Amino acid sequence: MSELEAFKKIMIVPNTSRSGRVSDLSTMSGLTFLCLYAGLLYHTTNVLSIPLSQDVRDAIDDYISQKQHFLSKDVQILTSRLAKVENNRENDFQFFTNRLLEVETMHAKELETLTNRLAEVENMCNKDFDILTSGIPEVENMRSKELQAQINRSSDVEKMHGKHDVKGLTNRLKDLKNNNFKDVKTLKTHSQTFQAPSIAKRTSIIMRPRVAPVTDWVAFHAILPVRIHDPAYGHIIPFSDMKTNIGTGYHATTGVFICNTPGVYVFSWNIRIHEPAHGLETELMLNGATVGYNTSGGGDNSVWGYGSATVTLYLQEGDEVWVRVTSKTPGVSIVEYNCMFTGFLIHT
């Protein structure tokens, strides 16, 4: 067997996969054998001075060329895959960087929005506080005026009560004298059977009070002193400029009438709005139940937006009556000094 045939028999060309890559086990066996064989050749050639034939040398060169070709392909494939991995890594890094910038931008905008909203709320709270603070002296002044008016009215009622008592008794005594003279004449002209009933009947008529006692008088009249712009639904209209409050049943600070004397009452309220083309509906409330309606406006700007209503009610002691907004056109305003609320007792 020649050296070339022995080399070809010993050397096994490694298998390649479909992708052109060399099997790791075959490559490792061939390389190991190649190294061993190259060392043997070196030892034989240099130590023993045995020359190799050209065929063996060519076979070795071909084998080395094949290995270099396979290794070059493997390096090329690995280089390509490494480039793809680096490209993907760079793209992922850029994506996450952009996403992080978006999240930071969103958080910055949300923080700015919350900061602005907080500033608006603080500004509104400061305005409300200023309004409440500035309104305290006005309320105290109104309460002082209301108390003084009640004191003055009480004095007037006491004076009226005394005058009416003296004047009423004097007039009633005169009526009794006149009627007694008439009864004497009637006794002379009529029979005895008709005299007693006639005198009793006339006496009952004479003794009957012409008006209710002054202590039972109840009446109030109040005006709206300030304009109300765009009132809320259910808003109680505070007619706080009180002109009359006999019986002290009307409370100007709340706009609510509280019954102290049971009986039949008449209530009337008048509403004028600033924009006639707008509309405003109010209702009279009795202990939270609706007992009357009033509509103002709803026409055109050529006429005033007035509306009035009157209601008769029987009230028990402790019943509460007030006027509130039930429906409206957005932006409507209730005009000051043109809106009034009146109530009075007509029968106990």
Tens of pLDDT, residue by residue over 2-33, are 555 555 555 544 444 444 444 444 444 555 55
pLDDT at 209 over 80: no
Residues 6+ apart with CB under 8 A from 258: 249, 251, 318, 319, 320
Quote the pLDDT of residue 36.
60
**What's the CA gap between 346 and 310, in Å, rounded?**
14
Mean pLDDT of 282-287: 97
Quote the pLDDT of residue 24.
46
pTM over 0.85: no
Quote the pLDDT of residue 28.
47
Determine the 3-state secondary structure of 83 from DSSP: helix
Tokens of 202: 């006339």
Nearest to 300, CA basis, from 279, 276, 280, 281: 276
pLDDT at 150 over 50: yes
For the ranges 64-78, 92-106, 163-177, 250-264, the lowest mean pLDDT is seen at: 163-177
Q: Which residue has the higher pLDDT, 319 or 299?
A: 319
Q: Which residue has the higher pLDDT, 177 or 110?
A: 110
Nearest to 296, CA basis, from 260, 320, 329: 329
Long-range contacts of 177-183 (CB under 8 A, 24+ apart): 179/203, 179/206
**What's the CA gap between 293 and 323, in Å, rounded?**
9
Specify whether the CB–CB gap between 184 and 310 falls below 8 A.
Answer: no
DSSP one-letter code for 30: H
Quote the pLDDT of residue 194.
43
- First and final CA of the chain: distance in angstroms? 149
Packing angle of the helix pair 24-46, 3-10 (nearest 10 deg): 150
Q: Which tens digits make up the pLDDT trace of 59-103?
A: 888 888 888 888 888 899 999 999 999 999 999 999 999 999 999
Question: What are the C-alpha distances in Å from 345 to residues 78, 157, 215, 267?
Answer: 107, 16, 12, 9
DSSP one-letter code for 274: S
**What's the CA gap between 58 and 19, in Å, rounded?**
28
**What's the CA gap between 174 and 168, in Å, rounded?**
10
